[in-house]
Structure 1
Amino acid sequence: MQNERLRAAMAAGGWTYSTLAAKAEVDPKSVERWVNLGRTPRRGTALLAAETLGEDVHALWPSLRQARSARAVSPELVALHDQRANVPVSAFTDMLAQAAEHVDILVYAAVFLHEAYPRLNDLLRERAAAGCTVRIAVGDAESENVRQRGLEEKFGHGIESRCRLALMHYRPLLGLPGIELRTHATTLYNSLYRADDQLLVNAHVWGVNAYGAPVWHLRRNGDGGIFDTYAASFDAVWSTADPVEEE
C-alpha cells in the first residue's frame, strides 16, 4: 500500500528519495519502500524524516502511535547509531553550524573532528562571532582517569597523546571572545556535543574505543528530559575543569 501522505509531502517540498534519505541518514531504497510499499521506519528515523518534511510523524506513519503505546520511547530521541564510526562527521559539524546560543563539547580527545573537518576551528570562530557561547572541555593528559582509560581500551599512552593533540588543535581559539577552553580530569562516561537544543551523545563502553560505541541524537523537548540530564552533566564537569592559559 502506497503512503500517499508521504508522497504528497515530498512532492510539496521538492524532496527526492535521495535528498530525503540523506537527511534521514538512510539508503534511498528505504525511502522508496516507505513511499511505494508503505513501510514504516524506525521511530528515530521517522522523527528525523518528519521534521525534515515539516509533517507530524504520526500523520505520516500512524502505526508508530500503536508501537509507542506498546513500548515507551523518549520523545527526545531523534536517532540511535550503533557506532560512532557509522555517523558521518557532517552530522556533527552540520549540527554545530546551526547553533545560535550554545556550543558545548566534552571529550577526552575526539581528534577525529579536526582530522576529518579541518575547518572546525573556523566554524567555532564563526559561531562565537555570531553571539554563540562556545565551551570546550578536553581531557587532561596528565590525569589518572585518562591514563586508566587508555589501559581499559588497550590503547596504552595513545589516549594521552591524543588529549595533547586535541589541546593543540583547539589552542588557536584561546583568547577569542565567546570561546572558553578547559581541561578536565573526570571519568568520562559520555562524550557530549551540544548545539543549542540538539545533542549528540557518544556513550562509552568499558574496553571499547569511543569510535566503536553507540551514539544517540537528542533534541530537547521540555524541562527535565534526557537532554537536560546530559546538559547538567556537562555543567558539572565544566565547573571542575581548569582553564587553559595562553602561552
Structure 2
Amino acid sequence: MSVFVDLLSQARQRIDVLVYAAVFLHEAYPRLNDLLRERAGEGCAIRIAVGDADDPNVQQRGREEKFGHGIESRCRLALLHYRPLADVPGIELRTHGTTLYNSLYRADDQMLVNAHVWGVNAYGAPVWHLRRHGDGCMFDTYAGSFDAVWETARPVEG
C-alpha cells in the first residue's frame, strides 16, 4: 500500500487513476481523499476514472472473475468514496464502461500498471512500476491509453 500512497504523495503536476474500483486504496489509507485534496490545492491536476457498475463490460468482468455482482458493488463503493471530491477544484471524476485491460495509477512521470489477467481478480495480478524515459516509451503508451478512456468517460456531479 505504501508504494501507492508514496507515489501519489510525490506528485506535483498530475495524478491519473483508471480503475474499475480499487477500493483497497480507501480501505487501507482512509486519508486518501485528504491527500488528493492537498495535492489539488497545491496545483496538481487530478483525474479519476472508475467503472460504471451498470455497464455491460464491467458486469462481464465480474462474470469472468467468477466474482458475480461483486465488481459492480465495488464500483459503486469506489464512487461513494470519490464522490466528495467531484466539486474540488483541480479534481475531475468520471465513470467509464471500457473493457479495462490494466488499472493505471499515474503520478507525474511515474506509473503503476496493474496488468489484468483473465479470470483473476486485480489483486492477484502483477503490478509494474514504470518511469518515463524520453518520448515514445512504454510509459507514454499507457498514458495515451488513459487519455483515450478518459475521452469516453462520463463526468460525475458532486
Q: TM-score, normalised by structure 2?
A: 0.99
1:62-101 CA-partner distances (Å, limit 9, x unpaired): xxxxxxxxxxxxxxxxxxxxxxxxxxx0100101000000
2:151 aligned counterpart, secondary structure: helix
What's 2:145 paired with?
Answer: 233
> Which residue of 12, 24, 33 corresponds with 1:112?
24
2:128 aligned counterpart, secondary structure: strand
Distance in 1 between the 2:157 and 2:41 partners?
Answer: 21
Counterpart residue type for residue 179 of structure 1: I
Distance in 2 between the 1:144 and 1:174 partners?
Answer: 24
What's 1:143 paired with?
Answer: 55
Which is richer in helix?
1
Distance in 1 between the 2:87 and 2:27 partners?
Answer: 23
What's 2:41 paired with?
Answer: 129
Distance in 2 between the 1:222 and 1:120 partners?
Answer: 30
Task: Give runs of aligned pairs for residues 182-201 of structure 1, distance below 5 A.
Answer: 182-201=94-113
- Structure 1 vs Structure 2: percent identity of aligned residues? 80
- Establish whether residue 93 from structure 1 lines up as the match of residue 2 from structure 2: no
- Establish whether residue 169 from structure 1 lines up as the match of residue 89 from structure 2: no
Equivalences, count? 158
Counterpart residue type for residue 161 of structure 1: S
Distance in 1 between the 2:58 and 2:144 partners?
Answer: 22
1:155 aligned counterpart, secondary structure: coil
1:176-216 CA-partner distances (Å, limit 9, x unpaired): 11000000000000000000000000000000000000000
The answer for unaligned runs of 5 or more in structure 2 is: none
Distance in 1 between the 2:9 and 2:71 partners?
Answer: 27
Alpha-carbon distance, 1:223 to partner: 0.1
Task: Give runs of aligned pairs for residues 1-247 of structure 1, distance below 5 A.
Answer: 89-246=1-158
Alpha-carbon distance, 1:105 to partner: 0.1
Alpha-carbon distance, 1:245 to partner: 1.4
Counterpart residue type for residue 101 of structure 2: Y
Q: TM-score, normalised by structure 1?
A: 0.64
Instruction: Report 1 or 2 for greater relative contact order, CA contacts < 8 Å, sequence distance ≥ 6.
Output: 2
Structure index of larger Rg: 1
Which is richer in strand?
2
Alpha-carbon distance, 1:239 to partner: 0.2
